[in-house]
Structure 1
Amino acid sequence: MNFNHLMNAQFFPMPGASNPHVQTILPRLVRRKVMLEPHWQRLTLPDGDFVDLAWSEPPEAARHKPRVVLFHGLEGNFYSPYAHGLLNAWRQQGWLGVVMHFRGCSGEPNKMQRIYHSGETEDARFFLHWLRETHGSQPTAAVGVSLGGNMLACYLGQEGDAAPLEAAVIVSAPLMLEPCSDRLEQGVSRIYQRYLLNLLKQNAARKLRRYPGTLPLDLPALNRIRRLREFDDAITSRLHGFSDAVDYYRRCSAMPLLPQIKVPTLIIHAKDDPFMTPDVIPQPGSLPSNIEYQLTEFGGHVGFVGGSLKQPQMWLEQRIPAWLAPYLEQKS
């Protein structure tokens, strides 16, 4: 372990800002300014739909560089504070970064009778193989945040040794979906449910107006939805072959797949994450030796803001590059 790795390995919250809700909200205040101008590309999928890619620079000009792929959270995108912050950190490291937007998350509705969800790994699988075939076999890592972290863990468990990745990082992932869904219906966490549900409904309404008939309900029915579980019952499960939300949650939780992961992987959770419950914490001894699990006392949900008010520090932008560097910068 190098010195930088040791320096960045522990998280200390900003003094006076250890509250989980403050940590969860702080990145939106600290990262108001977008850190870089992305290079956009639209990638056509095998079924005729598309995903949009936001690169840290034109990939054709960076074929020699190590690469890091980011899979964002629920209704996230390049403009999410952690996304452009991490891409900028990777660019400063001399790496090529790219956000693969899930279907419908880049500002334009997707065309088909499907969206994305916590266990939908087909698009990530297609993209990662396309990346290698199109831009060569440079060392590549993937980082998944929140929903994207659960999806990435599912993918890694499904692929085992076949994943075309040198390493992976999973941040604030709801590895057991049903308990996390329950948590978002309790106490202060209901604020996050309302916020996320509003984003989902706005996105679904855009899709219905642009492509009528691509969702299994109409606008009045969509407007009546009041809980994330209702959304997953009415839309997510019905579009993707699950009997209901509970069936979806149980079949797409990544926790049971963690022992099958073969790629070196770092999992980061905050013990005070207001989206989570202790159910997402793996049992001691249940993880293979290639998975490093870090449970911090503080950090909230994808927060992890340290430093001071005058000089805030986004710990993930230090911790993740430092941990990935040995895998992406191997000397031949």
Structure 2
Amino acid sequence: MALIETASTISPYWLPNGHFQSIYPALFRKVRGVDYQRERIVTPDEDFLDLDWSYANNPESRKLVILSHGLEGNSTRQYILGMVRLLNQHGFDCLAWNFRGCGGEMNKTARFYHSGATEDLDIVIQNALSRHYESIHLLGFSLGGNLTLKYLGESGGNLNSKIRNALVFSVPMDLRACSLSIIQPENKVYMHRFLNTLKPKVNAKAAFFPDRINIHDQKHVRTLYDFDHIFTAPLHGFNGADHYYEQCSSKFFIHDIAVPTLIINAKNDPIVPYESLPLEELKAHAKVCLVATPDGGHCGFRPTIVKNGAYWSEERALEFLSS
């Protein structure tokens, strides 16, 4: 489709860079008016996934959006809630699913979730396909965006015809590049925030699966790369962090995407370096379009003027999904 590099800025002057634009919404935005109904489904390996449904004002809605959150997120993150609220108001039912161990209760198996666990996304999609919906749309943020793109690429032309299109924001399409970027001094605040929630999960798991997880390995974890190399990779069958990144980075799967797909990344995203995106391949892709904004941060996109509580990213999503 195209690579579109926009010139118009999004953010207010008092959020002067990608760090402020990423952190402010995460800390200070409050989204009200979303009423979830939780469904728990059992996975083939006897684990579970928690699905949070929020229904449109129109009780006859036949359109569903499946939302996938980011690393150490869940269905209650402000970027999910804001999106769900606006889409509900315009006739879309929404299904925000929680990755394993992210829904408020630790999952049952030794494995967690990871950036390429498309088998879990497929379970969620198959559940949705069994319902009455005429059209299904996929929407992902950050890690959930990578997961969505990888799923679309793996499915290729075999994707169910009810899945009409997909939209993703702030996507780490090159996992290794992003893992190394987050180690940089100016980005360590994000890395430590992730590690502060990941490490306790490992401790909890080690108590139940001491043969799979050596809690003493925690002392070797200083970075997110270390965590992925020591815990994420071996727990999910990869031979170290680099193998995990190579097998799960969505940039290696996008050439087979067969439905209209929009990627929106900010050039000043502190977590996803713009140069890590597969720009040349995206330029020539028949189905995938990348819109690169000059600002917006990572999963931020707060506009200068907030109309009816909606962020810029949410307005763009509504526009794309309604077209």
Q: TM-score, normalised by structure 1?
A: 0.88
Aligned pairs for 1:111-260 within 5 A = 111-133=108-130, 135-164=131-160, 165-209=163-207, 212-213=208-209, 216-222=212-218, 225-260=221-256
Aligned partner letter, 1:271? K
* Cα displacement (A) at 1:285: 5.2
1:18–1:298 contact (8 Å) kept in structure 2: no
- RMSD (CA atoms): 2.4
SS in 2 for 1:301: coil
Q: How far does the alpha carbon of each residue in 1:184-232 deviate from its partner, in whole angstroms, 9 at most, with x for none?
A: 00021011001111111123233344xx117732434336522111111
Shift of 1:235: 1.3
Instruction: Classify 1:283/1:317 alpha carbon distance in 2 versus 1 (closer, same or farther; 3 Å).
Output: closer
Q: Which residue matches 1:13?
A: 11
Distance 1:111 1:323 in 2: 37
User: 2:300 maps to which residue?
Assistant: 303
**How far apart, in 1, do the equivalents of 2:147 and 2:9 lie?**
25
What corresponds to 2:65 in structure 1?
A: 68
Contact 1:63/1:136, CA 8 A, preserved across alignment: no
Q: Name the amino acid aligned to 1:166.
A: R
* Aligned residues of 1:45 and 1:51 also touching (Cα < 8 A): yes
For 1:270, give the aligned amino acid.
A
Alignment of 1:272 with 2:272, yes or no, is no
* CA drift at 1:47: 1.4
Q: Which segments of 5 or more consecutive residues in structure 1 lack a partner in the other structure?
A: 1-8, 327-332
TM superposition shift of 1:305: 0.6
Report the CA distance shift for 1:130/1:180 in structure 2 as closer, same or farther (over 3 A): same
Q: Quote how far apart the aligned CAs of 1:257 are.
A: 1.2
Instruction: Kindly state the Cα deviation for residue 324 of structure 1 after the two structures are TM-superposed.
Output: 0.7
Q: Secondary structure at the match of 1:234?
A: helix
Q: Kindly state the Cα deviation for residue 120 of structure 1 after the two structures are TM-superposed.
A: 1.0
Q: Secondary structure at the match of 1:305?
A: coil
Residues 134-164 of structure 1: CA deviation (Å, up to 9, x unaligned): x134211010110111111110000012223
- Equivalent pairs, count: 314
1:43 is the counterpart of 2:57: no
Question: Does the Cα contact within 8 Å between 2:264 and 2:291 map onto a contact in 1?
Answer: yes
1:14 and 1:312 in contact (8 A); partners too: no
Letter paired with 2:106: P
- TM-score if structure 2 supplies the norm length? 0.90
Give the Cα separation in 2 of the matches to 1:30 and 1:225: 30
Identity of aligned residues (%): 34
Gaps of 5+ in 2: 1-6
